Amino acid sequence: MKLYSSPRSPFVRKVVVAIHELGLADQIELVPTVVAMDQPNAGMLAKNPLGKIPVLELYDGTAIYDSAVIIDYLDRKVGCRLIPAAGDARDWVLVNHALANGLMDILVLWRNERDKPSEQQSTGWIANFGRKTEAVLAALEKQTPELEHKPFGLAHIAIAVVLAYLDFRFEALNWREPCPKLAAWHAKAAQRPSMLASQITA
Ligand SMILES: N[C@@H](CCC(=O)N[C@@H](CS)C(=O)NCC(=O)O)C(=O)O
């Protein structure tokens, strides 16, 4: 199988971490792929009409996207280790994945906005991104005891990856200061072999 990917995308990193957690690294080839908001990649549009990565291409050519769907597909092959099959445990994983994944969406939009020439930037949007980011971090700080005692799964992966993305693209936010428990959890999560094998590179 092939994973169309970029080493800087947090959505791709989520999938790569999951691949390592599931022990599937030797079955999936990472194919470096360039995508840009202002320059659709024709090859990717043919596989995913949204023009986004990650895309997993199966042996028969079927394209699977987006990141959560790819992880769900791989996880079901191996026996639902990252996303519980049913019940409250499943709901907890999916809601907390949605929270971290939603923060990824906000950060990508925020970065696009702040990279525009200053006269084209919306100060209202940027202030709103900042408020939402603070709110998500406060919610995650409260969730830390749950993170510590629940099995490492899709939600943990998304949270660990989005916090690393904050370090990579939003260092000045200094997210650890208001979130000491989350910072301690992240320091441990960042040492997992799956996280070390998938570091974001500039
Ligand atoms: N919801 C998608 C988001 C993927 C996404 O936004 N990927 C970015 C790279 S970080 C992308 O491909 N951007 C190109 C574009 O939007 O045209 C997922 O979870 O896979």
**68 CA: nearest ligand 1 atom:** 19
From the CA of 8, give the closest atom in ligand 1: 10
**Which tokens is 184 given?**
């301690």
Pairing relationship of beta strands 2-5 and 29-32 according to DSSP bridges: parallel
Nearest-CA residue for ligand 1 atom 14 is 52
Asked if 6 and 36 touch (Cβ cutoff 8 Å), the reply is: no
Collapsing DSSP to helix, strand or coil, 156 comes out as helix
Cis before 54? omega within 30: yes
Distance between CA atoms of 65 and 122, rounded to whole angstroms?
Answer: 31
Give the residues surrounding ligand 1 with Cβ less than 6 Å away.
9, 11, 35, 37, 51-54, 65-68, 108
pTM exceeding the 0.85 threshold for the entire prediction: yes
Give dist(CA 176, CA 193) in Å, integer.
22
Residue limits of CATH 1.20.1050.10 in the chain: 87-192
Residue 111 CA to ligand 1 center (angstroms) comes to: 13
Atom of ligand 1 nearest to the CA of 65: 20
CA of 75 to the centre of ligand 1 (A): 21
Could you count the other beta carbons within 10 Å of the beta carbon of residue 89? 14
Ligand 1: residue whose CA is nearest its atom 12 = 52
Q: H helices of the chain, where?
A: 10-21, 42-47, 67-78, 87-114, 123-149, 154-169, 180-189, 193-196
Under 8 Å between Cβ of 64 and 54: no
Q: Right CATH number for 2-78 from 3.40.30.10, 3.30.360.10, 3.30.450.20, 3.30.70.270?
A: 3.40.30.10
> Which of 155, 55, 162 is closest to 110 using CA atoms?
162
pLDDT in tens, 88-133: 999 999 999 999 999 999 999 999 999 999 999 999 999 999 999 9
Cα–Cα distance for residue pair 66/63, rounded to 1 Å: 10
pLDDT tens, the chain, 202 aa long: 999 999 999 999 999 999 999 999 999 999 999 998 888 899 999 999 999 999 999 999 999 999 999 999 999 999 999 999 999 999 999 999 999 999 999 999 999 999 999 999 999 999 999 999 999 999 999 999 999 999 999 999 999 999 999 999 999 999 999 999 999 999 999 999 999 999 887 7
- Residue ranges matching CATH 3.40.30.10 in the chain: 2-78
The residue whose C-alpha atom lies closest to atom 5 belonging to ligand 1 is 52
Ligand 1, from 3, 13, 35: best to mutate by most atoms within 8 Å of Cβ?
35
Residues 116, 142: Cα–Cα separation, whole Å:
34
> Which CATH code is given to the segment(s) 87-192?
1.20.1050.10
